[in-house]
Amino acid sequence: MAINVDTVYKTVLLILNQQQRGYMTPDEFNKVATQVQLNIFEKYEDDLNQQYRMPQNDTEYANRIKNIEENLQFFQRTGATAGTNPFTLTPTDVYRLGTVFYKGSELTQYAQRNEVTQLLLSPLTQPTTTFPIYLYENNNLYVYPTSIVTAADITFSYLKAPANVVWGYGVGTLGQFEYNTTASTNFELNISEQTNVITRILAYAGIIINDPTIIQAAQQETQLEEQNSKQ
């Protein structure tokens, strides 16, 4: 279940209004919310990498690797290609390439440009249709040997880029902003991140309204949460 954008925005406004600390316009909120979502999304990879190096427990709901992977599920996709080699990735929202497949089998060897040249020069390391290699550059997949030319044979897994968060609205008869669900885009983060999202947005709100106390309180809460998640 993803986080509802209307719930987050109204909660942020409620906290700011209760403390009489100012106001955050919908346009300001949309820009900040989009940045907060991207920050949290990018942090998943670092957190997952760190957790793989740490001992885990078998508790059903407290396995940190499992929880991070569940958070990433909203962004996991399978994509196709076009062209005749190099193959163009047809999805427009690829954020990070995952596994590349040739006729359903995983291409285990990714090579950089200088490595490809060396591999092709040696008879012992030249790729074959049984053991192909690939290079990923500028949204294109170069698959070797170059005799592989059918786009339908090349698929891949990837993480999509998070969509921009939008609290859509219309203007009421009194000039007030009225929530429009059809013009809105919810967060793509797991509902478990809602408190984290609100706290981080409040930190940005403190910068916008020039209130250091909000910034400090939000940063302390965020730091405490991060420390607890890594212990």
Domain count, the chain: 1
Give the integer Cα–Cα distance in Å for 130 and 34: 43
Task: Report residue 81 CA to chain centroid gap.
Answer: 21
Given the structure tokens 């919310």, which residue do they identify? 33
Give the span between the Cα atoms of 11 and 9, in whole angstroms. Answer: 5
Number of helices followed by number of strands (H, E) in the chain: 6, 9
Nearest to 200 by CA among 62, 45, 41, 26: 41
The predicted model scores a pTM of 0.76
pLDDT in tens, the chain (231 residues): 789 999 999 999 998 887 666 788 999 999 999 999 999 998 888 777 776 666 666 666 667 777 778 888 889 999 999 999 999 999 999 999 999 999 999 988 888 888 888 888 888 888 889 999 999 999 999 999 999 999 999 999 999 999 999 999 999 888 889 999 999 999 999 998 999 999 999 888 876 555 566 556 555 655 555 554 555
Q: Which two tokens stand for residue 195?
A: 């408190």
Helix (H) / strand (E) element for 177: namely strand 177-179
DSSP string over 101-157: EETTEE---B--HHHHHHHHH-TTT---SSS-EEEEETTEEEEESTT---GGGEEEE
Q: Which domain, by its residues, includes 21?
A: 1-231
Q: What is the largest CA-CA distance in the chain?
A: 77
Say how far apart CA 74 and CA 190 lie, in whole Å.
8
